[in-house]
Amino acid sequence: NPSYKAGDFMMITDHITTGVPSPLIGPNIDELGTRFPDMSEVYSKRLQDVIRKCAAECGVEIQEGVYVQFTGPNYETPAEIRLAQSWGGDAVGMSTACEAMAARHMGMEICGISCITNMAAGISKEAPVVSIPGTASNCLLWLNTLSPSFFTCRVMVAFSLE
């Protein structure tokens, strides 16, 4: 999303993993979840409300958007970024969505916050490298301000540095 900037937090409201193999391919372990889990709400609307409330209370601006996962380990090409935009994607990365799918398969309630560390190829003239020093520690400091009840054994915080 060209309106985002390096250093922004983006709450993941949905994701696109087309082109990335599903983590659920292969034999299903029935104890972990059903063969064909519902993915209509991977990222809990309830937890999104908690994140919005906590961010507002802490005075932290948070973007909201759709995360597109590519395979990596390389950065995306300008054409791939245009494709992600045409699909409705706001941020791209190499992780998070598959982990969220696997956790949702197991019945976990999921939230995701991505820290935008650089602008994608074709959006910025700069090389796509991490451009915000200390971003990970800043993200973790902010996450630590969330209510302790937010973190339970049934909640996975899908956290990525993209």
Tokens of 21: 């193999």
Nearest-Å Rg of the Cα atoms of the chain is 16
Task: Choose, from 61, 76, 99, 162, the residue flagged as catalytic.
Answer: 76
Residue ranges with strand state E in 89-141: 91-93, 109-115
Helix (H) or strand (E) holding 10: strand 9-16
Give Cβ neighbours of residue 47 (< 8 Å, ≥ 6 apart). 109, 110, 111, 150, 155
Active site residue 76: yes
Give Cβ neighbours of residue 85 (< 8 Å, ≥ 6 apart). none
Q: Cis peptide leading into 133, omega within 30 of 0?
A: no
Query: Catalytic residues, which ones?
Result: 76
